[in-house]
Amino acid sequence: MSNPHPRYLGDKGEISAVFRPADTAPDLTSGATATHCLASHATTGGEFGLYRVDMGPKAPGARTHFHRAISESFYVLSGEVRLYDGSDWLTGRQGDFLYVPAGGLHAFKNDTDEPLSMLTLFAPGAPREEYFERVAEFARRGPQELKAFQVKHDSYFLDTPEEPGPETAR
């Protein structure tokens, strides 16, 4: 295995780092969930997207879905999150990690009485911000518009009755 092809061809490096203080306000709040866009697709040039998701008690999360073009990973910072790995519901606790490759079924929810915080990583860095910002609006418009919006954002939901929550996939 070798390194990827160089993308920076200069000789001296450059000043290009991006710092985000821990106390920066969330970029999006929807119900009991606050999302911090730590490194968006725009920031990373499409390499990855990294988000901190803070979910309040009993926050529904996302029902079972998959992505065709991106992988999604979850790293639990604090609290407990229920993670569906395509076959079983697992309890993720501080330090636990779940990687879901493209095509992998997954879901998540907070069914405890305590808040949780986790990192969510998308690779490559798809433009997820519009999805996070507007999914509730499209849900109000009705199922056909919501489904078209989800597909536009590489989110394919299963239509099964045992799903864990509203259609707000990360």
Residue 60 belongs to domain with CATH number: 2.60.120.10
The Cα–Cα gap between 62 and 64 comes to: 7
> Would residue 110 count as lying in a domain?
yes
> Would residue 5 count as lying in a domain?
no
124-155 in b/e form (b: 16+ CB < 10 A) is: ebbebbebbeebeebbeeeeeebbebbeebbb
> Would residue 69 count as lying in a domain?
yes
> Would residue 13 count as lying in a domain?
no
Written as one letter, the residue type at 39 is A
> Would residue 47 count as lying in a domain?
yes
Number of domains in the chain: 1
Residue 122's nearest CA partner among 33, 28, 46, 18 is: 46
The Cα–Cα gap between 86 and 65 comes to: 9
The token pair at 139 is 């849900």
> Would residue 77 count as lying in a domain?
yes
Domain extent for 108:
28-126
Residue 120's nearest CA partner among 99, 136, 151, 103 is: 99
Min mean pLDDT across 59-73, 106-120, 156-170 is at: 156-170
Radius of gyration for the alpha carbons in the chain, expressed in angstroms and rounded? 17
> Would residue 155 count as lying in a domain?
no
> Would residue 79 count as lying in a domain?
yes
- CA angle at 80 for the pair 30 and 18, rounded to the nearest 5°: 60
Its pTM stands at 0.88
pLDDT tens digit string along 95-122? Answer: 999 999 999 999 999 999 999 999 999 9
pLDDT tens digit string along 42-56? Answer: 899 999 999 999 999
